[in-house]
Structures are given as structure tokens and as C-alpha cells.
Amino acid sequence: MSRKFWCLLLALASTSVLALELAPLPQQPQAAMLTAELLSRFHYKSVPLDDALSGKIFDHYLKALDGEKYFFDQADIDRISSLRTRLDDAIQQQNLDPAFGIFNLYAQRVVERYTDARALLKSGFDFQQNESLQLSREKEAWPKSEAEVRELWRKRVKNDWLRLKLAGKDDKGISETLDKRYEASIKRISRLKSEDAFQIFMNAYTMAVEPHTNYLGPRAQENFDITMRLSLVGIGAVLEEKDEYTTIRELMAGSPAANSGQLKVGDRIVAVGQGKDGPLIDVMGWRLDDTVRLIRGETDTVVLLDILPADAGAAEKHRLVPLVRKKITLEEQAAKKSVMPVTENGVTRQIGIITLPSFYLDFEARQKGDRNYKSATRDVERILNELKKQKVDSVLIDLRGNGGGSLVEAIELTGLFIDKGPVVQQRNAKGRITIESDTRTGQTWDGPLGVLIDRNSASASEIFAAAIQDYGRGLIIGETSYGKGTVQSMLDLDRITQSPKQQYGELKITVAQFFRINGGTTQLRGVTPDISFPVGEDAESQREAAFDNALPWVQISAADYSPLGNLKDELPTLNKHHESRLKADRDFQYLQEDFAEITRLRKKNMISLNEAERRQERDTQEARSAAREAVGKIGKAAASDVAKFRDDGLQAEERSLSKDLALAKERKNAKDALLNEAAHILSDEVGLQKNLSRLAANAGPRGSKASSARD
């Protein structure tokens, strides 16, 4: 498709001033073509880049841009539908104008819709009418006309207004809040760049092939690397965007920012300079990631911050704060421990809990021989040794929400709990099967063990949990896991092209499927717990099986391994105690009630826009929360003060920083009913094993009095 034709198509769709006129950067068409070549040669699932795949890319792209179908209408879709079978040509011919044209049209529609939304605020709304708003429109058809789009937005804005009204705001305050919110949405669109459009389009392409294949542009690549190694070079401040200011949300202990004594939470960064006397660059109104890039840099270099104090007005005096950049370790995202005492029948047992958010590993530091490289396994091993000194009775590895990470770490972490042996099997695109094993002698922890998982425990988490289960090494507790049974490899496009600078990004490509040592796979089915917790009915919609292009479940031969134990005989007793506790545990009853309510609302998929109905719904919910609090039990999502969790109608960036931090602290410290029950299950297991040991000891040798008595 020619550039001229595409420009004409875009002009036909245009109804207002164009929001963006983004165009591909020179390196992006080459990056797209290189990605296509790598996918065709190395991906586990061979999918040709043809018209059929082009159609899937088109659908994924529209879903990524406008999944709820609030911006495009059917006329827009009709105008760009000729591109459905031409995106493959755009990639192969290194002409990304069609993809960028769609993105520019989307940006234009966003500006138009939010501009119209701001206009709606002038007339207000009638909340006595019996109207409702559809909560999810993902499965709906595109709006048939401009009038239908406007009606959708009228209801959307009306709901935004009603939420604030129910929270106690007056009409003037509501109008100001929403006008500012919608204006901010327009500004965010205006700050988008070519790399944003390219990132979204390329992920539409890669994920049309298979759900876990992704393109990472240079910025996404940098953030991925930071997540894996849990470190960066900077000042050690957590930043967020509030009212167009880059605002300090947290100072990390021991960091340059904290040690300086010149910064505090709420301070605003208005300009950034390089070097102690470097020229300052005004960052007011900048995207947060752009400001962060200026603040990060090389170790032991100076960054100069122009600070507007938290309690100062915009016109008040600023202060200049020079800081020396250092390596910052992201300890909040590393493994952590706690010890939970569990008392039943007058006996107290200590359960050591290790929370592991991801299977992180600093690949580069490890390859360089750095003795202090960051590793999930090394951190867990250190914690296990500490727990042994504390004489805990059992250990629980909490993998809830752990989406995976390094395959090497999954294998080595398993090795802390077994004494040599296979951990996982891999099969590549050619069908070749390899077995990855723990080769280290001995176990760091050979005592009772449990692994807590949920629907978000994926990939490396599933490899670890499956191996522990197959070896009979520990109890798997919680929900069935996510169901991702594929292995990805990172391909550095800059290295492949021998580019002297970072410009092409990386391709995370699925190269193999992994299998349990028993021959099964976690793909689609996940890891099924030995002891299950109640879940919502919609759990499957949040797992791998929800993707229409996920790899199928298959089975191969089992590896040669010897189980270390058999917990099957214990499970009936443990489940009996577990179920008995659930019947008496109000926290679990509340969770089941909440699951049922969430399921009901999702099935209903409608929310009333009638003020009296909404007030009644809110009052009913608050009465239920108050009743829970009256008996001294609160579910995980609740706080000690019901009103603190009342819907305030605000988005995160609209709340005061102090209130936002207080709410975050309340949620973090709220009682965790699931973790508490998992600890009780492990305590039961310890008691059961001790009883069995006593019975075995009392039985004595065959033919003894004890043996005769039993007979």
C-alpha cells in the first residue's frame, strides 16, 4: 500500500485536528523485518507471516489500542479494514506507515472523545433516570455510529460523576476533578512517541504468533533487565507523576537520596542536570519515564536535582540537591522471610515463610564472575539457613503472584530441597528432549515443606512447584496455577545487527516447551494443588487457557527419578482438618462471599446510573463490612475502618500522596487469611508426622509385646 493511499485514507477518517503525526524511526522497519526472520527460523511454533497471520495481527492491534471499543466506531473499522491482510506486507517491505496510521487515528479519536467528555461536564446529569452502564465491552460489536459512541461516553462520564457524588463531593468539585482528569488523558496522548506506537504494534505481531513471545524496545528492554537483576544505578527514590510533577513517593533506606538528608517524601523534581554544575533541564509536564532516564546514569557520577519542597507553592523557593549515583538493590522485590507461630490444642509450632515475588537473576554479573551477584536461589538459601537457626518446624514458600523469571533459578531453587536429580524436561521445535537437573549434593532444607500458589503463579513458579510435587517433597497448597508451560529465550537485536548503540531492542521468543519430570506439562492445566483453596468461578478467564493461540497440552515420557516421599497418605487427614477450619473460619467465609459477589457482578456486567440504587448498593456493602468488623474478623481486602475503603471515585494520581500511602499501608498490613490457613496446614502436617513417628517407635520390632498388642 502506498504512502499516498494511506494518507488519503487517514484524511477521510479525520474529523478534527490530528492529535499525533507519528512516523516510524529509521531503525524500526529493520527491527520489524529482523523480528519476522527470527520468528520464522527459531520460534517453537512455526507460523508463516502471511495474510492469515496479518488478520490476527490486525485484531490484536485493535484490541491493544481499543479493547473496550470506546474510541473507534464501525466507520473507522470499515475504512482501515483493507489493512487486515496487508500488515504482513508492511513488515516484509519495511514500510510501517499503515501501522503508524492506525495508531495516529486512534490517538486522534482519544483526543476527540475526551474533548467531548469535557464538554459534557458543563450540563450535569439527571441521576433519577433508570439507566445503566455496561462494565465490559470487549465482546461487543464496534459502535455503529458517531451517535452511539457519544451515548456510550455520556454514560461513562455520568458514572464517573456519580462515583464522586457518592463519595461526598459537590458538583463544582466533581466538574473540576473530571475536567482535570480528562485533560490529563489528552496530554498523555500528546506525549506518546514513535517507540510507543512501534512497541504496541510489534507486540500485536508477536503475540498473534503465541502469547508469550514479545518485542521489547530499548526502554522496555532496560526495565526488563532491571527486574531480572533487581538493581539499577540511580539515586534510590521511588517516583510517581502527580499534577505534572515528578514526585518522590519513597526514599529507599541507605540510598544516596535517603542519606543526603535533603529530600523527603512529597518533594517535587522540577529540573534535572548532569554534573554538579551542569545545565538544568526543565521536566515539568514530562513523562515519568523520560525524567527517570535523566536521573539514572553511570555509577559515581553526579545528578543535580532542582527540588520544589513538598509543602511549598509553585512560586516558592526551590533548592538544588546534587547526588552521586550508586548501584541500588531493589530489596522490596527480593525474597523475604517471616515466622508465623501456629497454636492448636495447646501446641505452638513455628512456620517459616519465604515470600518470593520472582525468579530473579543478574545474568551479566554472574557471567562476569561477580561473587555477590543477585539471585533468587542465593537469597532463599541464606534465608533457609537463618530459619534453621530459628528452629522453625516447617517452611512455606509463597509463590502467589510470582509470574516466573529465570529457568536456571527454578532448577537451582529446587536443588535446595532435593539431593541431586532431574527437575524439568524441555522439548525444542525439532522434538529433541533434554533434561535439566540439580547437580549439587545435599539439601539446604530437608524438613517439612509447603508451596503456596495461585492463578498468577506461572512459568518458573510452576516448574518449581511441579518438581516439589513430583518428588513428594512438599505440599502444594492454594489455587491451580496459571498454566504456562513454555520456555523463552532473549535475542538481542543490537547484538545480531552488531549495532554500536542500543536501538533495535530485544525479542523474547518461545523456543521450547517444558515438561514435568513425570512426563506431564503445566501448559494449559497448570499445577493442581494437593490442598485446594476456594476460587472464583471466573478463574479460568485469567489463565493460559483463555488464549486462543496457546500451545496445546501434551505429554511425554517420564524422566528417570526417585520420589523422596509420598504425601498421599497424609492428604485425607490434612484435608479433613483444613475443611473443618474453613467451616469455622470467618475470613474464609468472607472470601467465598466476595468471590461469589465478584462473579455475580461480572456476569451481570451492568452498573446502575440511578443515584438511589447506587446508594442502596453501597449501603448494603458497607453494612456487610461493618457486620464483619463487629465480630472482629476482617477479610484480606478490608481494613480496620470500613470508611477508609469506601470508593472515593478518584484515580490513584488524584489522591493526596499521604492518603495514597496510608491506603497502601493498610492493604499491605491487612490480615492474609490464605497465608494463615496454609501455615495451619503445615502445622497439621508436622503434628501428623510426629504422631506417625511415635506410632512407628512404639510398634517396636516384629514379635515384640507392642507388635503383639497391635495384632
Tell me which residues are annotated as active site: 459, 470, 484
* Distance in angstroms between the alpha carbons of the first and the last residue of the chain: 88
Separation between Cα atoms, residue 551 and residue 524, nearest integer Å: 8
Contact 455, 529 (CB under 8 A): no
CA distance 698 to 700: 5
Centroid of chain to Cα 440: 32
Strand stretches in 4-142, DSSP E: 132-134
8 A C-beta contact, residue 407 and residue 463: yes
Question: How far is residue 670's CA from residue 664's CA, in Å, rounded to a whole number?
Answer: 10
With contact defined as beta carbons under 8 Å apart, do 91 and 98 qualify?
Answer: no
Tell me the backbone φ, ψ of residue 405, rounded to 5 degrees.
145, -125
CB atoms within 10 A of CB 592: 16
The set of residues, in sequence order, having a beta carbon less than 8 Å from that of 79 and lying 6+ positions away, is 9, 12, 13
Maximum distance among all Cα pairs of the chain, rounded to whole angstroms: 99
Type of residue at 321: V
Helix, strand and coil percent figures for the chain, each rounded to 5: 45, 15, 35
Q: What's the burial of 583, exposed, middle or buried (CB within 10 Å: 0-12/13-18/19+)?
A: exposed
Q: List 375's β-bridge partners, or say none.
A: 361
Helices 97-120 + 3-13 axis angle, to 10: 10
**What is the C-alpha separation between 689 and 667, in angstroms, rounded?**
36
The alpha carbon dihedral of 660, 661, 667, 668 has a sign of positive
What is d(CA 503, CA 508) in angstroms, rounded to the nearest whole number?
Answer: 16
